[in-house]
Structure 1
């Protein structure tokens, strides 16, 4: 029997997350579609995702933003969500974010990370995030304590924003462009767990510095 499109597409940027994928994909809400965007994994992540029933998109151009945007262009649902693929965030927590967007109360919903342990969010990553929050407030007036990757919005509206960054600045540019466009933006807290494996972005001081640098360019553009 032919079925209609999924009500929500969940975009999962992926780089060497084969170990975390079973946990993540097992928590995608029933009826939603998981789109795993493989960004050059060498650990068989794409094969694991396909075996577990996810839609797999290959994005050879390196960069977190490249993977996010490839997933967005591959999505077909009215509402799309973004979530990390490293088991630090439970995709089931996306349900209230998506429902809020669907209701029309807000246009962009963000998941503000609430660490479950002190090791879940390294100090250098917190400091970098705090600095960006201050810069974002000066740029847009938004008071957002976190610029985390978990979020929900309408697909067509996101595509219309014309987000250009293809590195770590993609999530921040989304918020800046949405604010400039007059979107209603809100946050709700979500549990933040110790990730599976090593972070490619905020797991080290160097990775955090590169992420902050990319995002600062977005704010200065």
Structure 2
């Protein structure tokens, strides 16, 4: 029987005839020089420049991938790989396929994902566009570290290694350039061991323009980081709006706020009370997004998620919602009495709206809590803890 390879080197390919041969030759030299049992896989995404023949002539395996996209090509190549470990990199000769030993060594030592860091290893002059080097990559990497608490300095390095077992645990879904971010995020969410090693980046060896689109693909990365972190997208902004809106509303209800010649009164109270309602809507979306993502296996299920249905249930929501409704009705009664004492004539808005606005606000909030609790309980019907 043919010996199973330890390492599969996977390269996504779309019209890479100019640089594909040198990349394959470097990868073969690495395998030979380090006595690694391995294979080279070219995940072809529909090349029309003869890239497939070049790869076959150098004894690399060509895996045709019909579904377009960087992520699609890589998934096709990775899933066809036979190696225990996989190292992936672009076929544009910007990464050094002869310097893969630190990646393989860390994988052998038990790391699930080994990331390259181009900023630690060295970025050659002209290898990375100015916006990518000083804006896009640092900002997106910072957001990734902040949102997901991942100690990675270069989120978008295309040279990385991982075990085949870890790849299936990641359960990757995206098809485009955001595949790179998803791999790191899913590794963290599944408690996989992530290591980072220095690597170098050389100028792209092709004469044509790269497939990467700065603004479009940058937005796709940012969008993915936001959508996979409902805590930062919804929960934290929601809590911020509620705190600011509640404190401001309480102060204005007691008396107008005067700052120099600026008077913040009942008109401002309308906005501050709206902040609380909007903040609550953010939190509702956080809960619903979290449930959808977990139940559709986009995010792993955690102990915190299971507790969500234990403490946030229909009965609790109905009680809180009804209490808010009662407060709103009582305040409305007081407002009606003030109007009655004026023989249902003209009122002093500065006086009455300090009661009416909180009355309307608590009624609206109470109804939202009741409706949310009903919908939330429907989503949690199959949860055994509910």
Question: Could you say which TM-score interval applies, normalised by the shorter chain?
Answer: over 0.9
The counterpart of 1:46, out of the listed 46, 49, 52, is 52
* Offset at residue 92 of structure 1 (A): 2.0
1:200 matches 2:207: no
SS of match in other structure, 1:199: coil
Mean CA deviation greater in 156-165 or 113-122: 113-122
Separation in structure 2 between the aligned mates of residue 21 and residue 156 of structure 1, nearest angstrom: 28
Q: 1:117-196 counterparts in 2 under 5 A?
A: 117-126=124-133, 127-147=135-155, 148-196=157-205
Q: 1:68-107 counterparts in 2 under 5 A?
A: 68-104=74-110, 106-107=111-112
Separation in structure 2 between the aligned mates of residue 91 and residue 218 of structure 1, nearest angstrom: 29
Separation in structure 1 between the aligned mates of residue 20 and residue 79 of structure 2, nearest angstrom: 22
Separation in structure 2 between the aligned mates of residue 8 and residue 117 of structure 1, nearest angstrom: 28
Instruction: Report the number of matched residues.
Output: 214
CA contact (8 A) 2:94 2:203 kept: yes
Give per-residue Cα distances to partners, 1:72-120, cap 9 Å, x unaligned: 110111111111110000112222111211111x221111114452201
Which of the pair has more CA radius of gyration? 2
For residue 375 of structure 2, what is the aligned residue in structure 1? none
In terms of fraction of residues, the more helix-rich structure is 2
CA contact (8 A) 2:113 2:166 kept: no
Give per-residue Cα distances to partners, 1:124-177, cap 9 Å, x unaligned: 222211111011011111232212011111102212211111101001100001
CA contact (8 A) 1:94 1:151 kept: no
Separation in structure 1 between the aligned mates of residue 107 and residue 78 of structure 2, nearest angstrom: 16
Separation in structure 2 between the aligned mates of residue 138 and residue 100 of structure 1, nearest angstrom: 25
Q: 1:115 to 1:211 in 2, by over 3 A?
A: farther
Separation in structure 1 between the aligned mates of residue 76 and residue 197 of structure 2, nearest angstrom: 26
CA contact (8 A) 1:133 1:143 kept: no
* Structure 1: unaligned runs, 5 residues or longer: 202-206
For residue 204 of structure 1, what is the aligned residue in structure 2? none
Give per-residue Cα distances to partners, 1:19-65, cap 9 Å, x unaligned: 10121011112232110011111111111111111000111211000
For residue 41 of structure 2, what is the aligned residue in structure 1? 35
RMSD, matched Cα: 1.3
SS of match in other structure, 1:93: coil
Report the TM-score when normalising by structure 2: 0.54
Report the TM-score when normalising by structure 1: 0.92
* Structure 2: unaligned runs, 5 residues or longer: 32-36, 228-386
CA contact (8 A) 1:11 1:81 kept: yes
